[in-house]
Structure 1
Amino acid sequence: MNAYPARADAFTLSAPVRLWEEGFAADPHAYYAALRAQGPVGWAELAPGVPAYVVTDRRAALDLLHDPATWSHDPRPWEATVPEDSPVLGMMRWRPNTLFADGDAHIRYRRSLTDAFDLVEPHDLRERVHHAVDVLVGRFGPAGSADLVTEFARPLMALIFNNLFGLPDSESGRLDAALGAMMEGGDRAAEGEAEYGRYVLELIAAKSVRRGPDITSRLLDHPLALTPEEVTWQVFLTLGAGHEPSANLVSNALSRILGNADYYSTLTSGSRPVMDAVLEVLRYETPLSNYGIHFARESVSFHGVWVQAAVPVVVSYGALGHFAEQDFAGTHHRHDASHLSFSAGEHACPVKQPALLIATEAIERLTQWLPDLQPVLPRERLSWRPGPFHRSLTALPVRFTPHSPDQAGDRS
């Protein structure tokens, strides 16, 4: 099959917008503008030689997300057209889990996940987050400086999700490194995917021998009787989907907060909730910027574009947020702008509330320990990790008054 499918005569084929370029990480807005100039559905490359349709219009995105009769999440027909060494396969190849399933299979997988997470009480999750924050602040707090990406947001999510899925804190660094390589979609993507796969297989093997009060054990014992392979791929999806976007959500929110001293003061004083900052990121700088991947069951005309089957159709949550921020700039209605960062329709995120709780509690706990965080660099000088799928800082250096959580008078 030709990697670049033909289009309807009414739609002029534009040069693909190359989302794999380093320039996309540095200035995604220029790339989103180029996509939007093509219409509601643009034409892009996710990797060299891997084209995709990209939805940049909210109405088109909602039409896509709410129409399972026209669209499928099964990538196998597309996968057969892509070289095995393609750097985006780690994020897009078919696996028997809720993300890549349709119909009854999707309902079955989704129910197993929601049931497992429903057994995690909010107060218990809050305590897990506080413990992880305290551990990390205990490491870097006495130094008076830190990188809130590599020393806080990313290791924080590794600690939290390792704990939820039943692995010890000592394994968290391995998880963080593997997922980071896979998400970037570069030369190390296959290596990251393989290492992450080994990590999950070892977890399943350990829990198959000895259960615990964790999500992995609950999936293994679920009444729907998932096979060990199905549980493996459910964990592969959920552990990764929990860690990587949540880490980026926290670091992106912290960068926006710290980049505005007045904003930061309203949060640390308690006059404005941290949730405001988290929702602002979800609306305007979402951590998973291009995903929600669908495939037309048959070639179809969609918002003026002839979409061929077996070619990915990607929802650009990043573009939707960028244009929404432009639309609301200078008005007093910014807080009313809704977002699609958790997707919509049958495949909307099944664990949205735990994700929000983790992000808000993490930021609140950090700023309670270190209320005088000061960014080392202005926000416009921060750098971003490459990759077509995410909006992810490489670093967020800060200074603060040295502090240790175990010093006299600290909260328990």
Structure 2
Amino acid sequence: MTDHPADEEGAPRGCPVMHGGADDLTRLYGPDAAVDPQGIYGRLRKEYGAVAPVLLEGDVRAWLVLGYRESRRVLDNPLQFSRDSRIWRDWQEGGVEETSPLIQMLGWRPDCVSQDGEPHRRLRRAVTDNLDTLAGRGIRRHVTHFANKQIDAFAGRGSADLVGEYAEYLPMLVLTRLFGLPAAEGRSLAAACAQVLKGGPDALAHNDRIMEILGELAERKRLEPGPDFTTGLLGHTAGLDEGEIVSHLRLVLITAHTTTSNLLARVLELILTDASRLAGLVSGQRAVSEVVEEVMWNTPPLAVLPGRFATADLELGGTQIKEGDLLVLGLAAGNLDPDIRPDSGVSVHGNQSHLAFSGGPHECPGQNIGQAIIETAVDTLLHRLPGLRLAVPADELTSTASTWEARLDALPVEFAA
């Protein structure tokens, strides 16, 4: 890395290397990033401050926003930091291939996430109205059903991996019911969603498979409507066209599954590595929502949020940003920003001002559904598996990170068969 120069004393800092050579920039992908993303965030914060130049997959340049206040400014100001990637300069100038794995996360689509202003409000209304309807239709009953089916598969063994055999697939099984999909599609869709978020050479093929399944679903639901999210989008007063419907099915499916499965694994990890938390939950003296809140602060399911694009030359966190620059938001880094959390060990109970749900006009609309899945999944597991305990020392648990998230590899447990 190069030193971050000051243009003159007290003036915003620039970064010539951001718009020139890339050899000295830190990569947010690859073996090093997969092992210690928080270490990378810490080094970047020390060297650059609240905003750091980085490379994404394919050595595509971006600004990583590390500061909590700076992330809030970006999220709350769509006029300065647009979600519309059609203004992304590297894309306009041909610096990003259409086959790049980044396109699955950053490319423009006819969905509410890719737009601002009135087009965003129209499309988001269709999503939120239907999610609110689903939340009122006994979603916990669906979670309990699929949670028990998952647990039945390993309850007689006395041991399990709660990532691979529980958290990794449960949210998708619930989503298949909410979308009106056959449950048999759940496992393949969960794997495909994970690959889209992970990136790599297979991301495009997995995304195409998701779009194919969801396109067929939309066609079927036009002929056979039901009490599900897909039918709700088809009939909403916002008048979504075919492309908008399939794009929103994709958006909700990938986002809801990947974040909820990751969050469920992290909540279970925190419970099982702290005997007092586990005892409190089993006895009813603590609520699962308290643990979820702590995880949201310390290990949010989406570590880096894609992406925003500067609509003009501006200054952010003492750094000069140019029109068309890509910014990605370090949610995990921002939540641990020493300017707002000088002591990360202090309790965050009752404090919901974390960045885990994003913020501003694009704040996650499915928070209640995700919370219901997590709480019901944990309660069902603790009820079904007496004597539940971690089967390995806590320091042997490992995670693997991609640009956008860090996922727990496994959570081996033992219990009374």
Q: Please name the residue that 1:199 is paired with.
A: 213
CA distance in 2, matches of 1:330, 1:171: 42
| Residue pairs, 1:320-339, within 5 angstroms | 320-323=334-337, 327-331=342-346, 336=351, 338-339=353-354
CA distance in 2, matches of 1:363, 1:318: 23
* Deviation at residue 179 of structure 1 after TM alignment: 0.6
Kindly tell me: are residues 304 and 136 of structure 1, through their superposed partners in 2, closer, same or farther at Cα, counting changes over 3 Å? same
Specify which of 269, 279, 284 is matched with residue 265 of structure 1.
279
Q: Does 1:62 align with 2:72?
A: yes
Q: Please name the residue that 2:291 is paired with.
A: 277
Q: Please name the residue that 1:408 is paired with.
A: none
Q: Please name the residue that 1:374 is paired with.
A: 389
Aligned length: 397
Task: Spell out, residue by residue over 1:59-90, the C-alpha distance to the aligned partner (whole angstroms, 9 max, x if none).
Answer: 11111111122111011233343122322221
CA distance in 1, matches of 2:142, 2:343: 36
- Opposite residue 240 of structure 2, the aligned amino acid is L
1:122, 1:354 within 8 Å by CA — same for their partners in 2?
Answer: no
CA distance in 1, matches of 2:135, 2:315: 45
Q: Please name the residue that 1:43 is paired with.
A: 53
Q: Does 1:75 align with 2:78?
A: no
Task: Spell out, residue by residue over 1:280-314, the C-alpha distance to the aligned partner (whole angstroms, 9 max, x if none).
Answer: 11111001000151101122222211212333211
Q: Please name the residue that 2:366 is paired with.
A: 351
Q: Please name the residue that 2:21 is paired with.
A: none
Q: Which runs of 4+ in 1 moved over 4 A?
A: 6-9, 332-335
Q: Please name the residue that 1:410 is paired with.
A: none
- Opposite residue 274 of structure 2, the aligned amino acid is N
Q: Please name the residue that 2:197 is paired with.
A: 183
Kindly tell me: are residues 214 and 332 of structure 1, through their superposed partners in 2, closer, same or farther at Cα, counting changes over 3 Å? closer
1:290, 1:314 within 8 Å by CA — same for their partners in 2?
Answer: yes
Q: Does 1:130 align with 2:148?
A: no
- Opposite residue 65 of structure 2, the aligned amino acid is V
Task: Spell out, residue by residue over 1:145-188, the C-alpha distance to the aligned partner (whole angstroms, 9 max, x if none).
Answer: 11111210121011001111110111101111101111111232
Q: Does 1:252 align with 2:266?
A: yes
Specify which of 255, 263, 272 is matched with residue 241 of structure 1.
255
Specify which of 3, 16, 23 is matched with residue 25 of structure 2.
16
CA distance in 2, matches of 1:121, 1:50: 39
**Is the partner of 2:79 in helix, strand or coil?**
coil
* Deviation at residue 13 of structure 1 after TM alignment: 4.8
Specify which of 38, 42, 45 is matched with residue 33 of structure 1.
42
1:291, 1:389 within 8 Å by CA — same for their partners in 2?
Answer: yes
Kindly tell me: are residues 326 and 197 of structure 1, through their superposed partners in 2, closer, same or farther at Cα, counting changes over 3 Å? same
| Residue pairs, 1:151-166, within 5 angstroms | 151-166=165-180
CA distance in 1, matches of 2:42, 2:296: 19
Q: Please name the residue that 2:10 is paired with.
A: none
- Opposite residue 56 of structure 1, the aligned amino acid is L
CA distance in 1, matches of 2:44, 2:352: 22
CA distance in 2, matches of 1:329, 1:185: 31
**Is the partner of 2:56 in helix, strand or coil?**
strand
Kindly tell me: are residues 317 and 165 of structure 1, through their superposed partners in 2, closer, same or farther at Cα, counting changes over 3 Å? same
**Is the partner of 1:398 in helix, strand or coil?**
strand
**Is the partner of 1:213 in helix, strand or coil?**
coil
Q: Please name the residue that 2:407 is paired with.
A: 392
**Is the partner of 1:276 in helix, strand or coil?**
helix
CA distance in 2, matches of 1:385, 1:204: 35
Q: Percent identity?
A: 32
Task: Using structure 1 for the length normalisation, give the TM-score.
Answer: 0.91
* Deviation at residue 336 of structure 1 after TM alignment: 3.9
Q: Please name the residue that 1:287 is paired with.
A: 301
- Opposite residue 68 of structure 2, the aligned amino acid is R
- Opposite residue 30 of structure 1, the aligned amino acid is G
* Deviation at residue 121 of structure 1 after TM alignment: 4.1
CA distance in 1, matches of 2:5, 2:289: 43
Q: Please name the residue that 2:20 is paired with.
A: none
- Opposite residue 217 of structure 2, the aligned amino acid is L
Q: Please name the residue that 2:233 is paired with.
A: 219
CA distance in 2, matches of 1:90, 1:7: 34
* Deviation at residue 99 of structure 1 after TM alignment: 0.7
CA distance in 1, matches of 2:251, 2:165: 24
